Chains A and B, each alone.
Chain A
Amino acid sequence: MKKLLYKEIVLCTNIQIILFTCFAVFVLIPSWPPAIAFVYPLSGLMALFPTCLANKDIEYTSLLPIKKTDIVKAKALYLGLVEIVVILLAAIAGLVRFFLYPAPEKPEELAYFMATRPSISLLGFAFMSFGVMNLVLLSMYYRDPYKRLTGPSIVSLIVCVLLLTAGSLVIAFIPALREYDAIGLITQLLTLGAGIILYVLFSFLGYKSGAKAFLNIDL
């Protein structure tokens, strides 16, 4: 697993992925909904598959002493690594933002709230959204990795953005998901935990589904 991840990092990482991953710190920008910071890095990830196709990544990897399904596993691991870095960067930036900017005076105002107050719950929703994105992307892409480039990227991106938006709205309407009193904190941490579990589950299902489809592909 370490070798596969090393191969992905050294051979598949490009400046676009690094740059867009760093955009997770956009959580710091005042008056911007924090959820937007999770969307920018996706642009980098969507460029991953076309770039790898141009570099004949599948052909190279298929010659290595690994199982055919490990080709899909390598990409799933790499997606996971980038997404976790994105969430960690966003969490650090969110923490800074939390202490840097005062709490809104009128938290009942939805737009105002969404634009100013990061929450731990949002990280949970981000995990879940990324997990669903991985599920859609991996299972769709590896059904025909030589042709299916645009469709899986666009569909998974749209699904992820919709889920992030829905997550932000849910947080806005349910105070326990954004407040930092004892109940709020526990609820937020539970949401984060549930998000991580769903992330692992959906990503694993995406890998399994992609790997199963990929076994039928002639390279």
Chain B
Amino acid sequence: MKILEVKNLCKHYEKFDLKDVSFEIKPGKIIGFIGRNGAGKTTTLKCIYNLAKPTSGEVLYDSKPIIDVEADYKQEAAMLIGEMNYYGTKTVKSLTNVTKKFYKNWDEDLYHRYLETFNIDETKQIKALSTGMKVKYGLALALSRGAKILLLDEPTSGLDPVSRDELLDIFLDLVSDKEHSILFSTHVISDLEKCADDIIYIKKGEVIVNESVSTFESAYLHYEGPSEILAKEKDRFIFYRDRLGKFEGIMKKEEEIDAKEGVEKRKASMEEIMVAFERGEQE
């Protein structure tokens, strides 16, 4: 059962095009949305939350176009873009007091638990919060409003490793009820490895991968060994480095070759695959 469906989304800008982006979000899933800076992640997220108007295509919530059910949809979906950097001179408390009035399912106890977990002082002015604290405050607001779909643009950026780990645990706890779903963009590949079920990879405005993390990871192999052995097979690699007699490269599993003596073969990490995808064309 899909809760949100993105269908053939296109967005034209003068210097960038989002091309025919389609995917689904199902309850109980965490989807990692990855790609380089400027690949179209934020544009896609903005279209999904009706912050940007698609040139064509549509986003369906509960099988209805979001523009027809916008207010109801936004009760069920929470969007967080970067840090919570609004009304700098207002206190956390006053901004929360306004925000919570808009949500039917606001959970005050949960909100205070998150404030405690994230160590946020309600009496502080927004501008006095550090970047990491602003991100955490935004997350506390998003998580306390009872939203079933969380759309998060780089939620872990600006967080220290411990906070990031805590946040990823919160994500896993949230989706364990099989009602919540999370789509989050990130550059931190280790975040995906820790908690994502599925991965959507976007490159130059086009989705090039949309599958489970395990399928994605098991589809590529990493080879490392002497150049004289591996360089002969270089056309099979989607990306390689051949320097000072040492060869290193990423290959699709269906192109798999036997590892001769001195060659190390293993499953490629997500980060290695991402680099191969992005730099492969350049070689």
Contact = CB atoms under 8 A, between A and B. Distances in A.
Given A7-B102, A56-B87, 10 more contacts: A11-B98, A55-B87, A62-B51, A64-B99, A65-B72, A65-B74, A66-B70, A66-B102, A70-B71, A216-B53
Contacts of A219: 46, 51-52
- A-B complex: 5 closest residue pairs judged by Cβ atoms: A65-B74, A60-B86, A218-B52, A219-B51, A65-B75
A5 to B, nearest CB: 11
Contacts of A215: 53
A68 B70 contact: yes
A10 B98 contact: yes
B88 A67 contact: no
A146 interface: no
A11 B101 contact: no
B115 to A, nearest CB: 19
B171 to A, nearest CB: 19
Interface of B: 46, 49-53, 70-75, 78-81, 85-88, 90, 94-95, 97-99, 101-103
A65 B101 contact: no
Contacts of A59: 81, 86
B97 A67 contact: no
23 contacts: A6-B98, A7-B98, A55-B88, A57-B87, A59-B81, A60-B87, A62-B49, A63-B79, A63-B81, A64-B99, A64-B102, A65-B72, A65-B102, A65-B103, A66-B70, A66-B74, A68-B50, A70-B71, A216-B53, A218-B52, A218-B53, A219-B46, A219-B51
A215 B52 CA distance: 9
A11 B90 contact: yes
A6 B101 CA distance: 9
A18 to B, nearest CB: 15
Given A6-B98, A11-B98, A218-B46, A67 B52 contact: no
Given A6-B98, A216-B53, A218-B51, A56 B71 contact: no
A216 B97 CA distance: 30
Contacts of B90: 11
Nearest to B78: A63
A65 B147 CA distance: 11
Given A10-B94, A63-B79, A218-B46, A3 B71 contact: no
Contacts of A63: 49, 74, 78-81
A167 to B, nearest CB: 37
Given A55-B88, A63-B79, A65-B74, A11 B95 contact: yes
A198 to B, nearest CB: 31
Most A Cβ at <10 Å: residue of B75, B81, B86: B86
Contacts of A65: 71-75, 102-103
Interface in A37-71: 55-57, 59-60, 62-68, 70
A39 B210 CA distance: 59
Contacts of A60: 86-87
A11 B90 CA distance: 8
B137 to A, nearest CB: 12
Most A Cβ at <10 Å: residue of B46, B52, B73, B74: B74
Nearest to A54: B88
Contacts of B88: 55
Nearest to B43: A218
Most B Cβ at <10 Å: residue of A3, A68, A215: A68
B76 to A, nearest CB: 8
Contacts of B80: 63
Nearest to A3: B101
A131 B29 CA distance: 50
A66 B71 contact: yes
B56 to A, nearest CB: 14
A188 B14 CA distance: 56
B79 to A, nearest CB: 6
Contacts of B52: 218-219
Most B Cβ at <10 Å: residue of A56, A57, A70, A218: A218
